[in-house]
Amino acid sequence: MKKGETMVTIIEASKYPEKIQRLLYAVGFGDFIILVVDEINASFGETVLMLDCIGKKEGIIIPKNYITEEQLGRFIAGTVVEEYELMEENLLMLRELIMGKAEGLVKGEDSPTGGVVIDHYFNVKDIGAVALGVVRWGQIHRHDKLRAHPTDKIAQIMSIQRHDTEFDTAETGNRVGLALKNIGSSELDRGTLLSNDASVKQTALIKGKLELVKYWTKPVEKGMSIHICKDMQFIAGTVEESAEGTVRVSIQKPLAFRDGEKATMLYLNCGNLRVVGSKKL
């Protein structure tokens, strides 16, 4: 949606609940959550726990099929979703609410650094590699040279598009298309982090205290095959050690992050609940 200079991108968790990574991507990218509840079931519970695990505090709930606030309250108590406002199903009101939230975002001062998470990438004839993604923090500028984490490749931004319009800069929350130089599309991946921010780190070993979601009952044991996830990084790993809430997990390729950010742990072989918990990085 677009109103004046304000642009909004709506992301839906397609193919969920079959593929939980789709829920992870939608929740991770969202700045404001619209949680439509037409049935209180296992998928609803898993969604609430994912929102709580990632810490998405801004949102609304739209209950359908005569679901009451009291029914919802039993499942969202003690989570970030408990603070979401209940709203009736009214598309005009919803559109105005979303645009108002977007217009109210305070633009930051000019920043020399930023970070873009890629979700699609391809080659275009006579242009080269093109990456689609979202600016997660700071600003990016045309001609910036950004490292493609977790690789050592340095890509230069030749052009920035936002909703098919050329811009010299893009900032937090913007959905962008970037024409890149000095890198091929084969060197990119879903989840690649483009950034010139010196604070970005990467590691293939996750260790420390694991915050379990409140309904997780299965022991996190040595040898368990799990996934460590952040934004669109979805990386398989193995629990090497687990004792008294502390874990040590080796993953198949490095995870890119900044200090204080959270990674989510998923266990895909656990039926109705696959969200294990979160780990501060």
Same fold, 2-103 and 114-195: no
Using alpha carbons only, what angle is made at residue 234 by residues 229 and 235, rounded to the nearest 5 degrees? 95
Q: Is the pLDDT of residue 4 over 90?
A: no
What mean pLDDT do residues 178-196 have?
Answer: 96
Q: Which of 77-86, 105-114, 168-177 has the lowest mean pLDDT?
A: 105-114
Q: What is the pTM of this model?
A: 0.90
pLDDT at 223: 97
* Residue pair 43/16 in contact by the 8 Å Cβ criterion: yes
Q: Is the pLDDT of residue 54 over 80?
A: yes
CATH class of 114-195: mainly beta
* Residue pair 80/51 in contact by the 8 Å Cβ criterion: yes
CATH class of 2-103: alpha beta
What mean pLDDT do residues 75-80 have?
Answer: 94
Q: Is the pLDDT of residue 22 over 90?
A: yes
Burial (CB count <10 Å: 0-12, 13-18, 19+), residue 279 = buried
Q: Is the pLDDT of residue 36 over 90?
A: yes
| Half-sphere exposure for 232 (CA within 13 Å, toward CB) | 23
Domain extents for the chain? 2-103, 114-195, 201-280
Question: How, if at all, do strands 225-230 and 175-181 pair?
Answer: unpaired
Give the confidence band of 214 by pLDDT, cuts at 50, 70, 90.
confident
**Domain 201-280 in CATH 3.30.420.40:** no
- Per-residue burial over 149-165, b = 16 or more CB atoms within 10 Å of its CB, e = otherwise: bbbebebebbbbbbeee
Q: Is the pLDDT of residue 107 over 80?
A: no
Q: Is the pLDDT of residue 161 over 90?
A: yes
Chain centroid to CA 191: how far?
9
Mean pLDDT, the chain, integer? 93
| Half-sphere exposure for 18 (CA within 13 Å, toward CB) | 2
pLDDT at 106: 57
* Residue pair 147/196 in contact by the 8 Å Cβ criterion: yes
pLDDT at 3: 83
Q: Is the pLDDT of residue 219 over 80?
A: yes
* Residue pair 194/178 in contact by the 8 Å Cβ criterion: yes
Give the confidence band of 19 by pLDDT, cuts at 50, 70, 90.
very high
Question: At 75, is the secondary structure helix, strand, or coil?
Answer: helix
Percent of the chain with pLDDT over 90: 84
pLDDT at 104: 75
Phi-psi region of 136 (alpha: psi -120 to 50; beta: other; left: phi over 0): alpha
Q: How long is the chain?
A: 281
Q: Is the pLDDT of residue 108 over 70?
A: no
Q: What are the φ/ψ torsions at residue 72 (nearest 5 degrees)?
A: -65, -40
What mean pLDDT do residues 107-135 have?
Answer: 90
Give the confidence band of 111 by pLDDT, cuts at 50, 70, 90.
confident
